[in-house]
């Protein structure tokens, strides 16, 4: 004879067991702004009003040899300027119904504000990345969809050195896939894992040491090219970025929808400033 179950177990007590939602949320991973921190932003303070900043360029001229009993000859000087127009206006606009706001166990406004600002920072990086492949007269190094080689890296450095580009503030901007290509180059792997500070490439997901004098930055915002990416070696003054309005958050009550609205908006402009201060590196 089967004994009747008289205890209150998990299966027959389901009605008394509530579902508890954690106050910790899992944010979507959004790549940090990398490129916008590695280019020229010195002129942002010049654009409190208006929509365009014009930066004049100073051109060097070749010395002339002076001859005996001859008049001096003026050097021919043709100056130009670089214009940056703030024409990028991007936003994220959300509606949150009051019932949702009231019953949510987490602060939705706070969480959405953080993630929306990060999304706009990513968009700024993407607009900067779109200009990398036209640097150096659109003369690109490497081969798309093929692992970057040491010779490709040297070609990039040579392109900048040939044009007297300063070594200060040089940066490699590479995709995660190209970082993987660098890990296949033996001398960089050895150098990285012998770091006296104890850090390794695995811990930081990037090379600990500069490559040929330039720091290495892994970016997930580089322009996609045939399923791969346009990487680059740049010096800070290659691109000029002006963010006229950092991501601004506006919360308001929408009387028509009867809900909270959350707007995060940002204005910026970017342009090539010094063509020879960077070169596109094709890879993966």
Q: Which CATH class is domain 35-56+79-282?
A: alpha beta
**Which residues 6+ apart lie within 8 Å of 212 measured at CB?**
153, 154, 157
Instruction: Give the Cα separation of 171 and 207 in Å (integer).
Output: 12
The structure tokens listed for 218 are 């892994």
The structure tokens listed for 207 are 């090379």
Sequence ranges of the domains in the chain: 35-56+79-282
Model pTM score: 0.78
3-state percent breakdown (helix, strand, coil) of the chain, nearest 5: 30, 25, 45
**pLDDT in 10s for each residue of the chain, 284 residues:** 455 555 555 565 555 555 555 554 455 555 567 899 899 988 887 777 777 888 777 777 888 888 898 888 888 888 778 888 889 999 999 988 887 777 676 688 888 888 888 889 899 999 999 999 999 999 999 999 999 999 999 999 999 999 999 999 999 999 999 998 988 888 776 655 555 555 544 444 456 678 899 999 999 999 999 989 999 999 999 999 999 888 888 888 888 888 888 888 999 999 999 999 999 999 99
Instruction: Give the Cα separation of 121 and 90 in Å (integer).
Output: 10
């Amino acid at each position: 004879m089967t004994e009747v179950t008289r205890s209150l177990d998990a299966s027959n007590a389901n009605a008394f067991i509530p579902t508890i939602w954690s106050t910790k949320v899992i944010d979507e991973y959004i790549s940090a702004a990398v490129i916008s921190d590695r280019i020229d932003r010195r002129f942002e303070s010049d654009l409190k009003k208006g929509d365009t900043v014009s930066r004049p360029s100073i051109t060097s001229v070749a010395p002339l040899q002076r001859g005996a009993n001859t008049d001096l000859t003026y050097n021919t000087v043709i100056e130009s300027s670089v214009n940056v127009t703030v024409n990028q206006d991007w936003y994220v606009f959300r509606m949150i119904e009051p019932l949702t706001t009231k019953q949510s166990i987490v602060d939705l406004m706070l969480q959405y504000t953080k993630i929306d600002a990060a999304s706009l920072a990513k968009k700024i990086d993407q607009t900067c990345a779109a200009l990398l492949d036209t640097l150096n007269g659109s003369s690109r190094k490497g081969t798309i969809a093929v692992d970057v080689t040491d010779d490709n890296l040297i070609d990039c450095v040579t392109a900048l050195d040939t044009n007297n580009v300063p070594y200060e503030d040089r940066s490699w901007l590479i995709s995660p896939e190209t970082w993987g290509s660098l890990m296949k180059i033996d001398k960089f792997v050895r150098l990285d894992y012998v770091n006296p500070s104890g850090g390794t490439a695995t811990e930081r997901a990037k090379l600990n040491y500069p490559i040929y004098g330039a720091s290495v930055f892994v970016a997930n915002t580089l322009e996609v090219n045939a399923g791969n990416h346009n990487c680059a070696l740049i010096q800070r003054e290659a691109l000029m970025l002006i963010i006229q309005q950092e991501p601004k958050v506006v919360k308001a009550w929408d009387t028509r929808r009867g809900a909270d609205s959350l707007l995060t908006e940002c204005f910026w402009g970017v342009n090539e400033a010094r063509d020879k201060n960077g070169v596109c590196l094709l890879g993966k």
